Amino acid sequence: MEALFKSLDMSDTAVIHRRVANHVRRLIAEGRIKVGDKLPPGQTMAEWMGVDASAVQVALSTLAREGVLTRTPRRGTVVAGAKPILRTVSLFDKAELPNGVFTSYLRETMLSIYHDRNVEVRVWRDNRSAAEQAEPWDQLLTANRRGEFQAVAVCSAAWPQIRWLSRTGIPYVVASPIHVPNRVFQDLTQGMRLAVRALAEQGCRSLGAIMPLATTGRIEGESVPEYPAVYEAVLDAARHHGMSFRDEWIRSSGTNAHVTESFGQERFGYSEFRTLWKSRERPDGLIAFPETTARGVLTAVLELGVKIPRELHLVLHRSLEIPMLCPVQATFVVSGIRQLADAMVQTLDQRLATGANREEPVLLPFALMTA
């Protein structure tokens, strides 16, 4: 058994006691330590792993609280065989929610799921300055060390926050397009292909799109390859269906950054549609994404008296759970907040059980719905 504990992953950047706990979780998940096996004394494990004995004791206590291990006088520490039990979780938000309605619905849905599972939830909102948010939040880390929560579900966060959280060793899941482990998000390229196909099937011969996503695929200096991939998916699907398009019909937020704030997205949809519709030549099919942008587009459509669908066919994004008043004929490319919340909960359960990050993202498909 000594060899198992000498194989502690030194590339893990988590603090020592979390690194030890993750190592034991992996040994159990891989079947290298089995149910009923007795672990060596903490002092012995510490010597084998080359760490301080106090770190081993904290790790074993954490795993015992989760139900992974059983610790009894005289018998020692034994593998219990149970999956780790999530008893306390933190829901983490940045102070200024970038997509307030969506994030609020997601947070409330996750609160409901964990309430039904009798999991205690604590909501953390990072009210520090932007510069401070780039550094680990001591208050959050201290609460975790004290056992106030076992894991973190990130409903909304800036990239610097996600970056330091991903390095703490705390089990986490994040709803984000940013490339980090344990992330869950909508499959944007699949959704855009679906939207273009819907317009093609309605007989559209030309395509426009209004999406406040950065064409460079960078947020706060970090790569987000999904965003340029979304535009490529739209254009590739248009080519596949024989639809024409022009650069001026594909309205984006440009090369700087995507628009995140809800009202900003709605204003973007409104102003970009008005600019598009003033063009001498216009597409006969249009995609508006996300739903806040779609609301702005709808306002401009009604204000300008655009005849739908005679002059223009619309495919709009919406979340199933968020009401949207649409007084014109349109097709919706739909995503589900409950589906996203369920996937986040499942991903966090897997992370807690295995002690290992999930490197591949969980991407959720869109569906079509007619108004």
pLDDT 10s digits, 260-295: 566 688 999 999 999 999 999 999 999 999 999 999
Q: Which amino acid is at 185?
A: F
With bands split at pLDDT 50, 70 and 90, how would you rate the model's confidence at 165? confident
Mean pLDDT of 81-107: 77
With bands split at pLDDT 50, 70 and 90, how would you rate the model's confidence at 222? low
Instruction: Give which of 244, 211, 214 is closest to 228, Cα–Cα.
Output: 214
**Rounded CA gap, 344 and 362, in Å?**
9
**Is the CB of residue 151 less than 8 Å from the CB of residue 352?**
yes
The correct answer on CATH 3.40.50.300 for the domain covering 88-184+339-366 is no
CATH number attached to the domain at 2-79: 1.10.10.10
Domain topology for 186-336: Rossmann fold (3.40.50)
In percent, the amount of the chain with pLDDT more than 70 equals 90
With bands split at pLDDT 50, 70 and 90, how would you rate the model's confidence at 82? low
With bands split at pLDDT 50, 70 and 90, how would you rate the model's confidence at 81? low
The confidence score (pLDDT) of residue 170 equals 87
Neighbours of 134 (CB within 10 A): 15
50 DSSP assignment = T
CA–CA distances in Å: residue 359 to residues 217, 350, 362: 20, 12, 9
Mean pLDDT of 161-184: 85
**Is the CB of residue 185 less than 8 Å from the CB of residue 361?**
yes
Is residue 290 reached through a cis peptide bond, with omega within 30 degrees of 0 on the bond before it? Answer: yes
With bands split at pLDDT 50, 70 and 90, how would you rate the model's confidence at 245? very high
pLDDT tops 80 at residue 215: no
Which region among 50-59, 73-82, 93-102 has the lowest average model confidence (pLDDT)? 93-102
For 304, residues 6+ apart whose C-beta sits below 8 A from its C-beta are 273, 274, 277
Query: Hey, what's the torsion of the CAs at 101, 106, 112, 118, to 10 degrees?
Result: -140
**pLDDT tens by residue, 304-327:** 999 999 999 999 999 999 999 999
Residue range(s) in the chain whose domain bears CATH number 3.40.50.2300: 88-184+339-366, 186-336
**Rounded CA gap, 222 and 201, in Å?**
37
pLDDT tops 60 at residue 142: yes
pLDDT: is 234 or 75 the higher one?
Answer: 234
Which region among 52-56, 250-254, 292-296 has the lowest average model confidence (pLDDT)? 250-254
Report the relative pairing of strands 331-335 and 367-370 from DSSP bridges: antiparallel
Residue range(s) in the chain whose domain bears CATH number 1.10.10.10: 2-79
**Rounded CA gap, 330 and 309, in Å?**
8
> Residue 212 in 3-state DSSP?
coil
**Is the CB of residue 329 less than 8 Å from the CB of residue 306?**
no
